[in-house]
Amino acid sequence: MIYNILNGDSLACSFPDARIEGDIIVVREGLIDGDLSGSNLQDFWQSRAKYMGVSETEYHGKVVNEFEKIMNAPDNSEFNLWFEYDLFCQVNMWFVISIIDSLPIKKKVFAVYTSYLDKTSKQFWNGFGAANSDELKVCYAKRISLSEADIHLGQGLWKAYKNGNLEELTNLSKNQSLAFPYLEEVVNAHVDRFPKDGTKGRPERVIEDITKNISTDFHKVFKEFWNRESIYGFGDTQLRSLYDKVMHCR
């Protein structure tokens, strides 16, 4: 069985036109933010549903059902992970890899990145949304096979991230792997969210500078933040929370 695991519904809408073999699984989570507590998956799902402000039934129907397709995959399955380079996507991918790693089956795992983009492109850190069918096919053709070591690394990254262990996360980020091409850069961006000296995190400092020198309008702040810090991959929800915090302290 072949599975294409897509990060979000935006790509899921355009993906079928590329006619790439395999079933589609959609990750509808944003694990870059919110409660990650829970010693098992059931408790974890409860924490996430509560954080997102939805019922467990709604969360299960929209989110968990998709993850369960991975958990119920048959022997000799192939998983193509369509995630981008930014922190938002990478954290979700680490979680997906942790699930795949726990499966007692023979499997092949591939990372499919936005390889059609040059790093100087403004869309580099979040580029599948604008990709056409031909570009998606190019990305698929350049997919990267994950070794057992890569899969275990993904598992370790998720565990360290979930537990808030920034030191371990930093140590793991120094592993050189084609499957995680910008790992150290992305992890550094995450660590910068939580300065040890108690000062404001890097995203808050950037938002503070934008609201002070450019505009306090949220939409303009969002656009400028993306120009400067697209490595985070923040959506409206994540940035609005930080924006409100900065504006409250002005």
Tokens of 46: 């409860």
Residue 70's contacts (CB-CB under 8 Å, 6 or more residues apart) are 3, 5, 25, 79, 96, 99, 100, 103
Which DSSP symbol is given to 60?
Answer: I
What is the length of the chain? 250
Tokens of 108: 């092949």
Cβ(246)–Cβ(140) under 8 Å? no
Measured CA to CA, the distance from residue 218 to residue 9 in angstroms comes to 24
Residue 178's contacts (CB-CB under 8 Å, 6 or more residues apart) are 144
Cβ(243)–Cβ(205) under 8 Å? no
- pLDDT by 10s per residue, the chain, length 250: 999 999 999 899 899 999 999 999 999 999 999 999 999 999 999 999 999 999 999 999 999 999 999 999 999 999 999 999 999 999 999 999 999 999 999 999 999 999 888 777 767 887 787 889 999 999 999 999 999 999 999 999 999 999 999 999 999 999 999 999 999 999 999 999 999 888 999 999 999 999 999 999 999 999 999 999 999 999 888 999 999 999 988 7
